[in-house]
Structure 1
Amino acid sequence: METKRIVATVVMLLVAAFVRAPLSGAAHTGGTADWPEHHGHGRTNISPDKGLLKEWPLSGPRKIWTYSQCGRGYSGVTIADGMIFTAGDFERQERVIALDMDGKLLWKQPNGDSWRRSSPGSRATPTYSDGAVYHMNPTGRLAAYEAKSGRPLWVVDLKAKFDAKYGIWALAENVIVDGDKILCMPGGPRGRVVALDKRTGKTLWVNTEIEHSAAYCSGLVVNHGGARQLITLTQRSVVGVDVETGKLLWSAPFVPRSPQNSLTPVFKDGYVFIACGHSSGGRLIKPDLSARSAKTVWHREDLDDCHSGALLVDGRLYGTACRQGGKQFYCVDFLTGRTIKLDKTFGKVGITFADGMIYALNYQGTMYLLAITPEGFDVISRFELKRKPVNSYLAHPVVCGGRMYIRCGNDLHAYDIQAD
């Protein structure tokens, strides 16, 4: 049972979206050296960085600095406007943290009580947009802060306002900023999905049509079928919601054998990939707005992705399966599900992509650099990080501005990966 809880923690914390071309998320901050929300612009998990190292020394790339007061948790990092943001638990209080690019603390602000029950620690990664930072704690306290100073701007208690419902591992959503709206899923009977004004926290619309409560998923926004829609997972379905009105556009059952619907859906040209760790495998669906439903294109039990998400590059899906797939790192064709390559040597990994390479960090603290090849992928380099307790290496690596950032528990490391 403990093993199941550990794995599920990974899922809900790293709910990730790996998409090639959706339009979503935080506003761009200008230039390429920013990563303003979990998994970057549009939640593609694809960095625009170029000119990066194609192999590393045996000891790994040069470490620039380490910040060792992140607190307990699994939050990743966002980078914008010359600052780095993350979150962590400090005794009984959750806090949002801002650093400068030299790893020096700028500010640290509370965001409610920390999560003390199953798999304690922070979950969500802060989202940046237009000079503000937004963060939701595990019990649904959604707060906005001025990015430069940390000054609190507003707070909405989603549990009190919408009767937010969450599972044994709490809420783990990385909220989306789309234009002037914040989109999130309290999952309660008074608000399954809601849109708030990002400047004030005022409610713009509420969806109560959806039947099921929140899972551990962070959705994505796409333009498809003449509508701008939020695609996300509930505990028992996948849904598309009109971003402008909150109307439910379509839904399809996705009932896991264990409550771990957490993978951010992957969208490409009208097709959506969804998966659930440990139980329901992975499947490609095609939503039909006229029928308000979706048709299954293919389904594979062994693609039960729960930790790495699914990274889409040039028509191929990359990620890590869980129990059904034997913790295999996979490369499959997006439209057909055809196997290109499977590898069980890594264990479960969190991934990101930059300059033709996949960066993969496994549970044990081994960092891999993989080259994409016609046959799938090849391991080019690897190095070992300092051994940490179980669950320390759950946050996905981030590549931004010629650096690689790795969060492991209380520590955040920055490495120089820019080629000379």
Structure 2
Amino acid sequence: MKSGFAILFLLFTIRLFSQEVVEWRGVNRSGLYNETGLLKEWPESGPELFKKIEGVGKGFSQAIVVGQTIFITGIKQDTTDVLSAFNFNGELLWDTPYGRSWTRSYIDSRSTPTYQDGKLYVSSGTGQLNCVDAKTGNKIWHVDVVTEYAGEIHKHGDAEAPLLVRNLVVFVTGGETNTMIAFNKNTGNPVWQTKSLGGTKSYASPTVINHHGQEIVLVQTAENLIGVNSENGEIFWSYNLFQYHTHENGKGAQTNAPLYHNGEIFVTSGYEHPALLFSLSDDGKSIKLKWENNILDTHHGGVVFVEGNIYGSTWENNSRGKWASVNWETGETKWEQDWENKGAIITADDMLYLYEEKRGNVALAEPSTDSLKIISNFKVDAGAGPHWAHPAIYDGKLFVRHGDVLMIYNIKE
């Protein structure tokens, strides 16, 4: 039951942070968290467990934090995706069902909510886009994007984290009618639609970049990498990625958000698809392939960019992989080596955080072009299912989700 104090504290928190965009994988969806003063080494048993919250619902999505409120999605009611708010005592503040979950394969919530101006934006596993009041959990608007706009979802469900661009929330439809639609973030009314280039939605969430003053939304469908004018939905350019999908598995499976740095775009998607780096023209209206790398084929754990190099895991098969580093400028593989298994990676305070997917080992590593330098590690001992949720860092705390359980660790010095 909600206490008056908890509600007042939640309202204060939301107002205090009302202008901040909080979203999947931190700053610009890059896996970077702007945190400092974090531990450079953990105790042998791992960092202090601050709080374990059980009953968050089955899910692969990441938790986000606004002030002292935790928002997370999970399946709690049969085949319904539910968005929940918790305080740091682990008390449930509200639950909001927001759409039909994906039921054909890997039945867990996928979408990480995006927060701004007291509102949360989240998508169900079947492509139902919602705007939810962060104070109360009340739905402000709801659009069944896939049904109403003839979208097409790839075979393992919709995993998109909605992207905010100025007063818009942009969302990928895929399919033969549109590629992407922008909605007014306050009303849910459509603002512009991008023509279709064919292909279903992919698993990768879109990102937005500012390139020489030109704001471009980067979209991946099952077939293409596409640059879209954020002002009107005009397609600036597209590049066929499907041509590289020669392995018997993973056809059409673009799995990771792209990275942008210094006028260049990096994409990777597992399944022995080569990692690709593209150079943007100065006006942002065209791209050119700069290099290919056949080692860093990250499955779905994301990659990070640290001091001129890219770090992530590699794909050997759907249940096995290694870790690698590639130089951004040249595409040279600096190293590839074993550590437990493939998984998700983020970075903060000049360190790497690895969360391998099979047994739940978590590592703190020093970025290096010589080798994978593990400093400390521990093992998650709660929850069930694959360890596929990406970790996150907020206010000196590491958030690790495993199925129905969210664990919060103190990692502040």
Candidates 66, 71, 76, aligned match of 1:80: 66
Higher mean C-alpha displacement, 246-255 vs 106-115: 106-115
Paired residues of 1:250 and 1:289 also in contact (CA < 8 A)? no
Q: Give distance in 2, aligned partners of 1:156 and 1:30.
A: 24
Q: Measure how far apart 1:374 and its partner are.
A: 5.3
CA RMSD of aligned residues (A): 2.1
Q: Measure how far apart 1:172 and its partner are.
A: 0.9
Candidates 387, 393, 411, aligned match of 2:405: 411
Q: Give distance in 2, aligned partners of 1:198 and 1:405.
A: 28
1:120-165 alpha-carbon deviations (Å, 9 max, x no partner): 1111101101100110001111111110110110101102221110
State the identity as a percent: 28
Higher relative contact order (CA 8 A, sep 6+): 1
1:91-127 alpha-carbon deviations (Å, 9 max, x no partner): 2211001111222111110012222211111111011
Paired residues of 1:122 and 1:138 also in contact (CA < 8 A)? yes
Q: Measure how far apart 1:346 and its partner are.
A: 3.1
> Which residue matches 2:314?
321
Q: Match of 2:202, as an amino acid?
A: A
> Which residue matches 1:59?
45
User: Is 1:386 aligned to 2:367, yes or no?
Assistant: no
Residue 192 of structure 1 aligns to a residue whose secondary structure is strand
Candidates 25, 44, 50, aligned match of 2:36: 50
> Which residue matches 1:23?
none
Q: Measure how far apart 1:58 and its partner are.
A: 1.4
Q: Match of 1:143, as an amino acid?
A: N
Q: Measure how far apart 1:60 and its partner are.
A: 0.9
Paired residues of 2:325 and 2:369 also in contact (CA < 8 A)? no
Residue 42 of structure 1 aligns to a residue whose secondary structure is helix
Q: Give distance in 2, aligned partners of 1:76 and 1:225.
A: 31
Q: Give distance in 2, aligned partners of 1:199 and 1:76.
A: 24
Q: Give distance in 2, aligned partners of 1:219 and 1:104.
A: 32
Candidates 179, 189, 192, aligned match of 2:166: 179
Relative distance call for 1:129 and 1:69 in structure 2 (3 A) is same
Q: Measure how far apart 1:232 and its partner are.
A: 1.9
Please show how residues 113-192 of structure 1 align to structure 2 within 5 Å.
113-192=100-179
Higher mean C-alpha displacement, 34-43 vs 180-189: 34-43
User: Is 1:216 aligned to 2:211, yes or no?
Assistant: no
> Which residue matches 1:7?
none
Q: Measure how far apart 1:237 and its partner are.
A: 1.0
Q: Give distance in 1, aligned partners of 2:36 and 2:351.
A: 10
Relative distance call for 1:411 and 1:389 in structure 2 (3 A) is closer
Please show how residues 220-231 of structure 1 align to structure 2 within 5 Å.
220-224=207-211, 226-231=213-218
Aligned pair count? 389
1:233-271 alpha-carbon deviations (Å, 9 max, x no partner): 111111100001100001111012322112111111111
Please show how residues 16-27 of structure 1 align to structure 2 within 5 Å.
none
Q: Give distance in 2, aligned partners of 1:241 and 1:148.
A: 33
Q: Match of 2:313, as an amino acid?
A: T
Q: Give distance in 2, aligned partners of 1:132 and 1:213.
A: 28
Q: What runs of 5+ residues in structure 2 fail to find an aligned partner?
A: 1-15
Relative distance call for 1:275 and 1:74 in structure 2 (3 A) is same
> Which residue matches 1:271?
264
User: Is 1:110 aligned to 2:105, yes or no?
Assistant: no
Residue 153 of structure 1 aligns to a residue whose secondary structure is strand
Higher mean C-alpha displacement, 173-182 vs 223-232: 223-232
Relative distance call for 1:411 and 1:35 in structure 2 (3 A) is farther
> Which residue matches 2:273?
280
Q: Measure how far apart 1:217 and its partner are.
A: 1.1
Q: Measure how far apart 1:225 and its partner are.
A: 5.0
Candidates 243, 255, 268, aligned match of 2:230: 243
TM-score normalised over the length of structure 2:
0.89
